[in-house]
Amino acid sequence: MVHLTFLRIKEGDEHLTSYRTKYGSYEYLVMPFGLTNAPASFQDLVNDSSYYLLDIHVVVYLDDNMIFSKSEEEHVTHLSTVLARLRANSLFYKASQCLFHVSSVEYLGYVVSSEGLKMDQAKFHQILNWPPQRNLKALQSFLGFAIFYHCFIKNYSKKISSLTSFLKKDSYFPLNEEALRQFDQLKEAFTISPILSNFDPSLPTIVETDASDYFLGAVLSQVSDLGTHPIAFDSFKLLPAELNYEIHDKELLGIACALKQWIDFLLSLSSSFEVLTNPSSLQYFMSSKILTRRQARWAEFHFQSLTPLAAWPPFQLHCHVGMTFTQRGGKI
């Protein structure tokens, strides 16, 4: 596709890009690299060119477009429509840089296919060959890389707790034995990470949450004829103030965080979904007629957003929203 460096600067604004050299001052006529708003301006252009197709038949990130369809016949139609829209906006692709009619594709660090989402295989070798961090900058680089793929790792926050402790001020390197053990375990976890299935709004959906003294964990799954498949993993490290919560409040916080994280998925469901969690917190929450301010805030913000019954009291919502609360072993 035409790159951002081919975008014409708005007439009259060229002076805003001026720069000095020993030969005098110069102005750009086309968008240069390095301007703060250059990527955003180009993204607006490509979004406008396919605005009514975005996230329906095409995903666009700058000059990377991915067109997807359920059948080959549909794909030909979608491909023609998208290319026609791009051509109408003077945007063109080089055929040598395109892939057509493929069942899987590498896109923005992931491998996307009909089976689901998985890590780019090239990243496995990079992780396996990553040396132990000897300074703060190296640790930040590794954790920055790792968090990009954290949705593949169950209990990710817990698995990096010793490593993140070295991000604090006055930490001394090299890593201690516990941090090195977590470093090796995290690399292994990435190499055996599962394929995350594609989300289907018509399938039964489960949000499983759990809380411990220091961490919250959540799994979004769906049930098909082939069994239960993970859609995404997430985890959260409790803040200092949250460490003082009662266990039932930690469990509720885990549910609230999970619903907030996956709210877009859950709102698209054609039927109710199931929350799988420990029973004690929900029995307390659903039987209590007086909620604390914290509990009321969670109920009003997170749970009411999943139901049109926004005028109902928060403690009644849990019996009527599109959720079925389930303990491990049976329904509540």
Section 234-239 average pLDDT: 90
Q: For all residues of the chain together, what is the average pLDDT?
A: 81
Contact, 142 vs 190, CB < 8 A?
A: no
Q: 174: cis peptide before it, omega within 30°?
A: yes
Contact, 308 vs 300, CB < 8 A?
A: no
**pLDDT score at 282:** 66
Cα separation, 295 vs 285, whole angstroms = 8
Contact, 236 vs 157, CB < 8 A?
A: yes
For residue 314, give the H/E element and its range: helix 314-320
pLDDT surpassing 70 at residue 2: no
Burial tier of 285 (Cβ tally within 10 Å: 0-12, 13-18, 19+): buried
Cα separation, 46 vs 63, whole angstroms = 8
Class of domain 205-331: alpha beta
Section 301-311 average pLDDT: 42
- Percent of the chain that is helix, strand, coil (3-state, to 5): 45, 20, 35
Q: pTM value?
A: 0.74
Contact, 46 vs 60, CB < 8 A?
A: yes
**pLDDT score at 315:** 30
Q: What is the CA radius of gyration of the chain?
A: 25
pLDDT surpassing 70 at residue 264: yes
**pLDDT score at 326:** 52
- Residue spans of the domains in the chain: they are 4-101, 118-191, 205-331
